[in-house]
Structure 1
Amino acid sequence: MEVERTSDIPRKMKAVVAYKPGDYRLEEVDVPAINEDEVLLRVGGCGICAGDVKGYHGAPSFWGGDGQPAWIIAPFIPGHEFYGQVVAIGDQAREKYGLNLGDWVVSEQIIPCGKCRFCLEGSYWMCEVHHIYGFQGKVADGAFAEYVKLPSTARNYRLPDGFPLEVAPYVEPLACAIHAVERADIQFYDVVVIAGMGALGLGMLQAAKLKNPQMVIVLDVRDQRLELARKLGADLALNPAKEDVVKKIKELTDGYGCDVYIQASGHPNGVIQGLQAIRKMGRYVEFSVYNEPTTVDWSIIGDRKELDLRGAHLSPKAYPSAIRFLNSGEIKADEIITNRLPLDNFMEGFKLVEKGEESIKVVLIP
């Protein structure tokens, strides 16, 4: 077995290396070596996820604390919303994925172990080991770097010829958005509310519209994001900071409330708002990472409304659809990707994402 590679791969590369909360450094590190069952990509671009920024600030769901175990393995190279070009590939990987040198590729964010209970039953996105690019050093280093290794159990996809590479960093967020919408089981008669018009919410909006429900209502406290949501198909865009959105939703639904509520704002207030806005026996989909616990009256879920509460995690089986929708133009990302910065300016990118006033999706270009 052999590894085929291009002749221009250097020994060293620039990469962002995370050591602890608040200590992320641009360094020169070794280009990853690969085996015959692995792939090496020259990174074309990598989006900054809100989770990356929360990790930078030490969120307990990543670093541990508040009763949660540590998940991060430091030092590590962040970045999981990436695409790149194959510059080295092993024989086994070529046979498994059908990839060749020069192909443009995306890889699902999770690298499943293939051995745990969840992997063996086909629920690979819930892998108990749960390595995700950009959070565990060595075993799952990410793509805030010039090169990234795709390990042997990675789930890789070739981008079709002519695919608009400028939107390729949006494949990962869109795939997550599609999974959340699938979890909502949207019907033609449904009134759907989506809270949070960041990169994920704007993808959920467009995916939900493809399900052709009665109405899609979107919520955000930033008017410029609501304006973009209207352009991308929202039937109604409301600002909770300026009006009583629960009252408005109930007025539009004869006092019952929405059939589906998808929470993608990442703010605890969005959780409480959703429980108030949704009808009895409605479907509530949770897709957010929080910096702090949320306290709610759980009797709303059971005793008062008998809600169907559904989590949505990652992007299982959704990458092919995300690639297809972006390639066809059925889902648009050109205005969602608002900023492209050189890798050296990663801290500027983090600040743009955290502030969220002048950006939606920020992409780092090595």
Structure 2
Amino acid sequence: MVLTYFRRRKTFTLRDKIPPAFAGDAGRLGFIVFMQVAAMFGEGKGGVVDKPDPRAAGDVVVVKIHAVPMCTEYKGFISGGTGDRFGHEAAGEVVEVAQTGRVKVGDRVVVQPQNSCGKCQMCAIGEHIHCSGGRNIQEIVGTEPASATYAQYLHKMEDLLSPIPEGVSYTHAGMACCGLGPTFGAMEQMQVNSLDTVMVTGLGPVGLGGIVNARYRGARVIGVESHPYRAALAKKLGADVVFNPTDEDILDQIRDFTDGIGVDKAVDCSGASAAHRLMVDAARRKGQVTFVGEGGDFPLGASRDMIRKGLVLRGNWHYNLGVYPRLMKVIQDSPEQIDTFITHTFPMREVQKAWELQATGECGKVVLDPWA
């Protein structure tokens, strides 16, 4: 006889009720254990569905997710997308391991995005985000991997789990993913400091995280954003001024604010070609420009923009895992800013409302609670 248990919200989890000696063999014992995951149903509809609980195997552990920061998944929602594998940001607790390794049951962890091989040159130096190989998780666990974070449980390789310091909440710790991570990595590379004027273009959640990071380093901060809600939120987070990119004289405004010199360092988080061009034009001679927002092409003159001006241009996706403790210190030292940055929290079963809110732009970082 096969016993099937459907976990509902606000009820105990069968994983916690199975004796530890048998937990890893639940399937063999006849238990089919289900968790809830977020799903898009098309036509602007979303909710949760049941999927089998993940089980640990090899160095792939199971994480019980407590906080799910939302990224750009809402774009698929508003275009009528469907599916049940969403999300790449999370913070949670290790609840199952298959072997002794880097983490143990009970560890509180940040789930790093992406998949990596753990062996190549990039992985060896902490640049897992740039690994070109990755691993086949399905071959390790023997079933379809639970790799999406909009869920109650998750499969994850143990080397992509970073420890959460004591006293840091799951919700705040989750900001070490895309909330603060990409712009932290950019500012680490540019060595932003208190002598700098930093411009951040595109003040969605990633760009707002850039305001937090730049202010933490003591820089004078310029934001560039057209949405009134986001512009106001940026000022609350520490931006000295926010310019509207639709103003025809925005470049003159930036130059006036910097006494005609230009900004020392600039980070784009919009992916807009116009913002890319603005960064290059607004940067001072020997300045630095970092592209974080994914986007299209823009005109760039090697002589005019780089050689004669002496600019350093770079791209940044995430951050080196070796600097994770420094990023976590930003979070630990900035509790009020992080609370302001996270404007909304929803139960995961209300994911449709969360996606609808994100589509309006009337929010900062939004977090889902899989267990509420």
TM-score tier (shorter):
0.7 to 0.9
After superposition, the Cα gap between the structure-2 partners of 1:188 and 1:42, relative to the gap in structure 1 and judged at 3 Å, is closer
- CA separation in 2, counterparts of 1:267 and 1:19? 29
1:148 corresponds to 2:154: yes
| Corresponding position of 1:288 | 293
Match of 2:264 among 250, 255, 259: 259
- CA separation in 2, counterparts of 1:175 and 1:140? 23
Match of 1:48 among 44, 66, 70: 70
- CA separation in 2, counterparts of 1:132 and 1:80? 17
Q: TM-score, normalised by structure 2?
A: 0.78
Q: Post-superposition shift, 1:57?
A: 7.2
| Corresponding position of 2:50 | 28
After superposition, the Cα gap between the structure-2 partners of 1:53 and 1:32, relative to the gap in structure 1 and judged at 3 Å, is same
SS in 2 for 1:209: helix
1:239 corresponds to 2:244: yes
| Corresponding position of 1:186 | 192
| Corresponding position of 2:255 | 250
Aligned length: 335
Moved over 6 A (4+): 18-25
Of the structure 1 ranges 5-14 and 110-119, higher mean CA displacement relative to structure 2 is found in 5-14
- CA separation in 2, counterparts of 1:151 and 1:350? 28
1:16 corresponds to 2:9: no
- Aligned amino acid, residue 319 of structure 2: S
Contact kept? 1:325, 1:331, Cα under 8 Å: no
- Aligned amino acid, residue 269 of structure 1: A
After superposition, the Cα gap between the structure-2 partners of 1:324 and 1:105, relative to the gap in structure 1 and judged at 3 Å, is same
- CA separation in 2, counterparts of 1:353 and 1:296? 31
Contact kept? 1:192, 1:259, Cα under 8 Å: yes
Which ranges of structure 1 fall in alignment gaps of 5 or more residues?
59-73
CA RMSD of aligned residues (A): 3.2
Of the structure 1 ranges 38-47 and 296-305, higher mean CA displacement relative to structure 2 is found in 296-305
SS in 1 for 2:97: strand
| Corresponding position of 1:69 | none
Q: Post-superposition shift, 1:76?
A: 6.4
After superposition, the Cα gap between the structure-2 partners of 1:332 and 1:322, relative to the gap in structure 1 and judged at 3 Å, is farther
1:346 corresponds to 2:351: yes
How does 1:1-366 map onto structure 2 within 5 Å?
6-7=16-17, 11-16=33-38, 26-50=48-72, 52-54=73-75, 77-93=85-101, 96-97=102-103, 99-101=104-106, 103-120=107-124, 122-129=126-133, 138=144, 141-152=147-158, 154-172=159-177, 173-213=179-219, 215-242=220-247, 244-290=249-295, 293-299=296-302, 300-317=304-321, 318-329=323-334, 332-356=337-361, 358-366=362-370
- CA separation in 1, counterparts of 2:272 and 2:352? 23
After superposition, the Cα gap between the structure-2 partners of 1:171 and 1:121, relative to the gap in structure 1 and judged at 3 Å, is closer
SS in 1 for 2:293: coil
- Cα deviation code 1:5-24 (max 9, x no counterpart): 74368711111357999998
SS in 2 for 1:203: helix
Contact kept? 2:55, 2:61, Cα under 8 Å: no
- Aligned amino acid, residue 53 of structure 1: Y
- CA separation in 2, counterparts of 1:162 and 1:211? 22
After superposition, the Cα gap between the structure-2 partners of 1:258 and 1:107, relative to the gap in structure 1 and judged at 3 Å, is same
SS in 2 for 1:226: helix
Percentage of pairs with the same residue: 26
- Cα deviation code 1:126-181 (max 9, x no counterpart): 10125799xxx9457111111111224x3212322322333233221212221111
Contact kept? 1:6, 1:88, Cα under 8 Å: no
- CA separation in 2, counterparts of 1:169 and 1:355? 23
- CA separation in 2, counterparts of 1:24 and 1:301? 46
